[in-house]
Chain A
Amino acid sequence: MASVGRVTPQTMHFDEPLPLRSGASLPSYSLVYETYGRLNAERSNAVLVCHALNASHHVAGVDERGATGWWDNLVGPGKPLDTERFFVIGVNNPGSCFGSTGPTHLNPATGKAWGADFPVVTVEDWVDAQVRLVERLGIPKLAAVLGGSLGGMQALSWAMRHPERLEHCIAVATAPNLSAQNIAFNEVARRAIVTDPDFHGGHFYEHGVVPKRGLRVARMIGHITYLSDDAMEAKFGRELRAAELGYSTQEIEFQIESYLRHQGDKFSAYFDANTYLLITRALDYFDPAREHGGKLAAAFAPARDKRFLVVSFTTDWRFSPARSREIVKALVDNRIAVSYAEIAAPHGHDAFLLEDPRYHQAMRAYFETVAARVGAVKTEAAHV
């Protein structure tokens, strides 16, 4: 299927400080974003895509470095989120390391990189930052906000915090908060980074080093949790790298070890350690029911007249279907329009990024109903 083609990220600067949930504020900041398709005359066909842990504004198409967007199989001309009907926005969140203001940028107060002093950001803070971007783009109301995993939390938060600014919320492979097990995985990852001698309390930039060992281990443990047991078994099993056992405790014996080390190496070469700490913390903190005495339904009350699609994957043990059903229950308790698809995909949490036909058919069908409701009609491809 066609791609949105070559895309160029844009930057929007905001001078007004962004108040944060922690009580601190981000003095001024920039957001990097990409758009695909065309905003219609009624400005009713915009869809915001929120990114997950290690992703960015680069959702679809091919950027200047030749990299394909992380949700390119879903977003494009003729794809389930059809850029011939919708104007799609991908935005990078503050605290990230992909262009929007983050720990690698200069702290105006010190003239040095923010590093570990970058304020703690939450899902709600990201959503508030995104609201400003959408406002500046001249969009009074989004046709939909869409996200998977941590991105799904942002989509839910949009509906709860700014219901007047969207019509539909599409939350894929997500949860109303992290379980203790999930927080535990995040903590192991953070400890791996923080205890790396090259971390220097988060000010490693000044030392000209990167806590790569910590990042590698963080990514390895994360990666294990994104795959299902079955998917790992199918892909690697007990396959050995060499023909014979090497009887070594240090060298790679099994292919799965090789794969994880490779993923860790790749990740440590491009991801910022402080960003990893910030983003995993944002995941930990997300808990909209908390300020409603633990009642998730109360948190969704403001979204009464919105429409939701919730999708989960049966083999996703990091954000299991049971967690999605909690979201569905809270919506049903509010008599909110919701459809819920539980896709029997074998890939674990990663399934939300893959092209399972049942999943994509459901997304396509839902976006067609969104298009009909908001009057998003097919136009000629804005990109070829």
Chain B
Amino acid sequence: MSERRDLQIIGDLVPHGSRVLDLGCGNGELLAWLQRHKGCTGYGIEIDDANVLACVQRGVNVVQLNLEEGLALFDDQSFDVVLQIETLQHLRNAERMLHETVRVGRIGIVSFPNFAHWPNRVRVVGGRMPVTRALPYEWYDTPNIRVGTYADFEVLARKNGLQISDAFGLQDGRVVRTLPNLLASVAVFKFERS
């Protein structure tokens, strides 16, 4: 999620002054933005050395952890918001991480590449896996081990009793609320435990 507009759109979903846990916080850009513009506090979780370093340089609290090992470090309902921005698709235990999200936080916000975006569909109909800006990898070297669609997440959320309070797509730095499963390369969901 390098685009600044996307970052701001997702940041705007976070209530002012929230205590935030950012799972897979990358270089800490979003957390730094939330601290500066929305008076938020909290921690980022990162596994990558270079990203951990970038967070420390930014003055963002970062905890170096492997998310596959769960969130035992964090107590129930200890955060207002748990973010998983472009993280879920990298996790083997994606469903468990959703449970953990609503255990640890009041609100969960998830974004991931929408595999059903129309150019991806065209590629697949043509017999090839999609390689796009949102999914820039070849099938054999992709770190995205969980490819899903906007519509798939709605099903998973329902199955896990998550209450979706907002959902939209992102395309070229703009919010897509019309046919997001078809017209957006990124899916965004805001949810709570029902």
Contacts and interface: CB of A to CB of B under 8 A. Distances in A.
A and B are interacting partners? yes
Interface string B92-124: 000000000000000000000000000000000
A339 B57 CA distance: 11
B41 interface: yes
Interface stretch (B7-15, B48-56, B127-135, B145-153): B48-56
A362 B73 contact: no
Contact of A337 (B52, B53, B61): B61
A192 to B, nearest CB: 37
B64 interface: yes
B53 A361 contact: yes
Nearest to A338: B61
Interface string A303-331: 00000010000000000000001001100
B190 interface: no
A329 B73 contact: yes
Interface string B173-190: 000000000000000000
B53 A328 contact: no
Contacts of B53: 358, 361-362, 365
Contacts of B74: 332
Interface in B9-68: 19, 41, 43, 49, 52-53, 55-57, 59-65
A328 B56 contact: no
B89 to A, nearest CB: 23
Contacts of B65: 325, 340, 342
Given A332-B74, A340-B62, A365 B56 contact: yes
A358 B50 CA distance: 8
A205 interface: no
Contact of A339 (B55, B75, B78): B55
B128 to A, nearest CB: 37
Given A328-B73, A332-B73, A332-B74, A369 B59 contact: yes
A339 B31 CA distance: 13
Contacts of A340: 62-65
Interface residues of A, number: 23
A111 B27 CA distance: 61
Contacts of B57: 365, 368-369
Nearest to A369: B59
A366 B61 CA distance: 11
Given A325-B73, A333-B75, A362 B63 contact: no
A252 interface: no
A178 interface: no
A338 B57 CA distance: 13
Contacts of A335: 19, 41
Contacts of B59: 369, 372
Mostly helix, strand, loop or mixed at chain A's interface?
helix
A75 to B, nearest CB: 19
A52 interface: no
Contacts of A358: 49, 53
A94 B45 CA distance: 40
A342 B56 contact: no
B66 to A, nearest CB: 9
Residue among B41, B43, B62, B74 with the highest chain A CB neighbour number at 10 A: B43
Nearest to A307: B61
Contacts of B19: 335
A354 interface: no
Interface string A336-355: 01111111100000000000
A333 B61 CA distance: 14
A358 B62 CA distance: 15
Nearest to A309: B56
Contacts of A361: 53
Nearest to B66: A342
Contacts of B78: 332-333
B77 to A, nearest CB: 13
B108 to A, nearest CB: 18
A32 B26 CA distance: 44
B56 A366 contact: yes
A341 B53 CA distance: 9
A300 to B, nearest CB: 14
Nearest to B41: A335
Nearest to A366: B56
A332 B43 contact: yes
A277 B57 CA distance: 41
B143 to A, nearest CB: 19
Residue among B62, B63, B64, B78 with the highest chain A CB neighbour number at 10 A: B64
20 contacts: A329-B73, A332-B63, A332-B73, A337-B61, A339-B55, A339-B56, A339-B61, A340-B62, A340-B63, A340-B65, A341-B52, A341-B64, A342-B64, A358-B49, A358-B53, A362-B52, A365-B57, A369-B56, A369-B57, A369-B59
Given A339-B52, A358-B53, 16 more contacts: A325-B65, A328-B63, A332-B43, A332-B63, A335-B19, A335-B41, A339-B55, A339-B56, A339-B61, A340-B62, A344-B49, A361-B53, A365-B53, A365-B57, A368-B57, A369-B59
Interface of A: 309, 325, 328-329, 332-333, 335, 337-344, 358, 361-362, 365-366, 368-369, 372
